[in-house]
């Protein structure tokens, strides 16, 4: 992963230039504080699953830049707040999870964040708000914290207004009090002066800024990142097979690389700015390339994003494996880049296409093409698989599949292998064992 030299500019300017900032409580105050020496900031992560996915990575990349500029991140895993559930952006209440599941998820997420941030002593800290929220005394909390919140103002929050028609419980309604308490606690105990979060967290962040100011008499700051959408307006981070995960048991390194490699041309500049550390003049130059050269920019994006999540060696292997299947966009290295992708030996592309194993018993039981597409992770459901086949996008080796009722048999395999493809880019090697 390329890392530029420490910039001689304010961290806020870097975040703005790369597109990270959407709203903030006091931009001039933030600028002055960030130029006044190392500052501590925090970002919260909800442990409702045991893995981060690419939709979580925008705040993580912003944290990297702030840390690069000398500021200290606190990565907060919400082991306490997850017991309630944030209503922001949700149309219905989240399922209540057990404490054991929440704690297991929190530990998994903490491990993944360590790939992106430097947690050496004094560099960054991981905390779990279960450590201070689960032992709160209800009457004391309502008296000391609840008395400072206005119900009319809480009702005006977008996250609440969206839910008033479908119903919101007091449990979820109380969520902003706990998140606000997090900011107050971290400011008091760890001198944290900034909270950053997604666009949907604006109301919670503002509430935390105000609570901290009232209880400690200290100015603190909050800012949000934009909602990340693709150029067609759909949610970023989703594929036909579902979310793109950092956990390799859920999304292989190859598929992770391919997700980035196959983004729309119109999104390349934005995504290079967010998810790489390449200099912005290079980002803009690469993003302005026309087809077919823009495909080299997408190879660079795929490599850089994959190297962050899985390391340089795995990223190079995925790049070479994909290039062997689909061709190199710039085999002679004519397009200049500072990315370490240039170190790849393009004459030695590997065979590392993801493999899914099935047994003879699977075939005996009558494995259909719809089930195979789902089992291989190329489609999220049978209905998705059915649409793929009707659209002419399903292939076994080079043969298009037109029958959604096709049953897979040993005759489909050559030397125990068949390649299953969904569309032009997504494919899996199916191995009969």
Average pLDDT, the chain: 89
Q: Which residue has the higher pLDDT, 72 or 324?
A: 72
Mean pLDDT of 300-304: 98
Q: Are residues 305 and 181 in the same domain?
A: no
Domain with 77, as residue range(s), is 11-225
The per-residue pLDDT for range 365-382, each reduced to its tens digit, is 889 999 999 999 999 999
Share above pLDDT 70 across residues of the chain, in percent, rounded to a whole number: 93
Domain count within the chain: 3
Q: Which two tokens stand for residue 356?
A: 């899914």
Q: What are the angstrom distances between the C-alpha of 227 and each of 30, 31, 41, 230?
A: 21, 23, 20, 10
Q: Is 179 assigned to a binding site?
A: yes
Q: Which of 364, 374, 108, 372 is nearest to 248 (CA)?
A: 108
- Cis amide prior to 332 (ω within 30 degrees): no
Q: Is 193 assigned to a binding site?
A: no
Which residues does the annotation mark as catalytic? 48, 53, 56, 90, 94, 179, 200, 235, 238-239
- Bridge partners of 40? 72, 192
Contact 355, 429 (CB under 8 A): yes
Share above pLDDT 90 across residues of the chain, in percent, rounded to a whole number: 63
Q: Are residues 161 and 187 in the same domain?
A: yes
Q: Are residues 307 and 374 in the same domain?
A: no
Confidence of residue 2 (pLDDT cuts 50, 70, 90): very low
* Range of lowest pLDDT (141-155, 202-216, 237-251, 268-282): 237-251
Q: Is 298 assigned to a binding site?
A: no
Q: Are residues 309 and 377 in the same domain?
A: no
Confidence of residue 350 (pLDDT cuts 50, 70, 90): very low
Q: pTM of the predicted model, to two decimals?
A: 0.78
Domain boundary among 313, 343, 373: 343
Q: Is 256 assigned to a binding site?
A: no
What is the pLDDT, as a whole number, of residue 94? 58
Q: Flag whether 367 is in a domain.
A: yes
Q: Which two tokens stand for residue 7?
A: 């910039």
The per-residue pLDDT for range 175-222, each reduced to its tens digit, is 899 999 999 999 999 999 999 999 989 999 999 999 999 999 999 999
Mean pLDDT of 58-80: 95
What is the pLDDT, as a whole number, of residue 365? 86
What span, in angstroms and rounded, lies between the C-alpha atoms of 268 and 233? Answer: 15
Contact 68, 6 (CB under 8 A): yes
Domain boundary among 225, 251, 286: 225
Q: Are residues 186 and 81 in the same domain?
A: yes
What is the pLDDT, as a whole number, of residue 19? 96
Q: Are residues 197 and 280 in the same domain?
A: no
Q: Flag whether 30 is in a domain.
A: yes
Three-state secondary structure call for residue 280 = helix
């Amino acid at each position: 992963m390329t890392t530029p030299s420490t910039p001689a500019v304010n961290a806020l300017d870097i975040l703005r230039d790369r597109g990270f900032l959407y709203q903030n409580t006091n931009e001039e105050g933030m600028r002055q504080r960030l130029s006044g020496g190392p500052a501590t900031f925090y970002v919260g992560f909800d442990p409702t699953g045991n893995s981060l996915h690419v939709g979580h990575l925008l705040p993580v990349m912003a944290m990297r830049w702030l840390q690069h500029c000398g500021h200290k991140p606190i990565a907060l895993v919400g082991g306490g707040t997850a017991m309630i559930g944030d209503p922001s952006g949700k149309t219905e209440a989240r399922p209540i999870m057990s404490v054991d599941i929440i704690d297991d998820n929190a530990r998994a997420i903490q491990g993944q964040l360590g790939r992106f941030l430097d947690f050496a002593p004094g560099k960054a800290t991981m905390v779990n708000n279960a450590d201070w929220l689960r032992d709160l005394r209800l009457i004391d909390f309502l008296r000391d914290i609840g008395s400072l919140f206005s119900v009319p103002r809480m009702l005006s929050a977008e996250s609440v207004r969206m839910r008033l028609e479908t119903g919101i419980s007091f449990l979820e309604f109380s969520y902003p009090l706990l998140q606000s308490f997090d900011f107050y606690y971290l400011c008091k105990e760890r001198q944290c002066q900034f909270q950053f979060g997604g666009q949907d967290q604006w109301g919670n962040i503002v509430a935390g800024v105000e609570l901290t100011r009232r209880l400690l008499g200290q100015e603190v700051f909050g800012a949000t990142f934009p909602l990340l959408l693709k150029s067609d307006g759909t949610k970023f981070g989703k594929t036909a097979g579902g979310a793109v995960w950092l956990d390799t048991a859920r999304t292989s390194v190859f598929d992770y690389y391919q997700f980035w490699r196959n983004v729309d041309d119109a999104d390349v500049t934005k995504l290079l700015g967010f998810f790489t550390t390449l200099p912005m003049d290079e980002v803009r130059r690469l993003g302005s390339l026309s087809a077919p050269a823009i495909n080299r920019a997408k190879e660079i994006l795929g490599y850089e994003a994959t190297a962050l999540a899985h390391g340089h060696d795995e990223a190079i292997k995925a790049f070479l494996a994909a290039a062997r299947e689909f061709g190199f966009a710039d085999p002679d290295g004519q397009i200049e880049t500072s990315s370490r992708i240039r170190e790849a030996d393009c004459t030695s592309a590997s065979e590392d296409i993801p493999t899914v194993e099935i047994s003879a018993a699977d075939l005996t039981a009558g494995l259909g093409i719809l089930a195979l597409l789902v089992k291989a992770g190329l489609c999220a459901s049978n209905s998705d698989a059915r649409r793929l086949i009707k659209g002419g996008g399903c292939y076994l080796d080079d043969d298009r599949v037109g029958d959604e009722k096709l049953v897979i048999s040993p005759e489909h395999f050559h030397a125990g292998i068949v390649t299953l493809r969904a569309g032009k880019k997504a494919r899996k090697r199916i191995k009969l064992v």
